Amino acid sequence: MVCLGNICRSPLAEGIMRHKARTAGLHWEIDSAGTGSWHVGEPPHRLSQKTALHYGVDISSQRGRQFHASDMERFDVIFFMEESNRRDAQAMARHTWNDAKARLLLNEVTPGANEPVPDPYYGTEEDYHHVFRLISTACDAFIARQLNA
């Protein structure tokens, strides 16, 4: 799960997908990263933590890290929160870039629409709830497809 800061959206996506995968009995390794390095080592944003906990997902032990080219080889699927994240990661990955693994998360819900998960960094608590619900719906759709594959 990749966003810009690895502090608002992708930590939520990591926690949500892990929670849902576990519940579905899937043994997946799930992680998140940011294309930027400003928040490396930091816990998720206070409102990401609070919102996740509201829905029963504890993300307090997660820590920020920066996307690395090796992530492209280590993971089977890389979900990006928006197009700019995918572009930035492609520039960082260079020869490890694998277009077949790189997906926009909300295309799980609206295929081909390339809708962004909006950045709530300067937003209100309600914006975090909106982001949580968008990510949750996308994770449900992805898991349902995996289970039916």
| Residues of the shown chain interacting with ligand 4NP in the complex, contacts defined by CB under 6 A | 3-9, 34, 38, 119, 121
> Nearest approach, Cβ of 91 to ligand 4NP (angstroms)?
16
Cβ contacts of 20 within 8 Å, gap of 6 or more: 136, 139, 140, 143
List the Cα angle 68/24/10 in 5-degree steps: 30
| 94 is known as an active-site residue | no
Copy the structure tokens of residue 51.
């919102």
> Nearest approach, Cβ of 82 to ligand 4NP (angstroms)?
9
In this chain, which residue has its C-beta nearest to ligand 4NP? 5
> Nearest approach, Cβ of 60 to ligand 4NP (angstroms)?
16
Check 8, 86, 119, 139 and give the catalytic one.
Answer: 119
Burial (CB count <10 Å: 0-12, 13-18, 19+), residue 25: exposed
- For residues 26 and 123, which CB has a smaller minimum distance to ligand 4NP in the complex? 123
| 9 is known as an active-site residue | yes
> Nearest approach, Cβ of 94 to ligand 4NP (angstroms)?
22
Check 9, 18, 86, 139 and give the catalytic one.
Answer: 9
Q: What is the DSSP letter of 66?
A: B
- For residues 73 and 126, which CB has a smaller minimum distance to ligand 4NP in the complex? 126
- For residues 108 and 119, which CB has a smaller minimum distance to ligand 4NP in the complex? 119
- For residues 3 and 134, which CB has a smaller minimum distance to ligand 4NP in the complex? 3
Known catalytic residues are 3, 9, 119
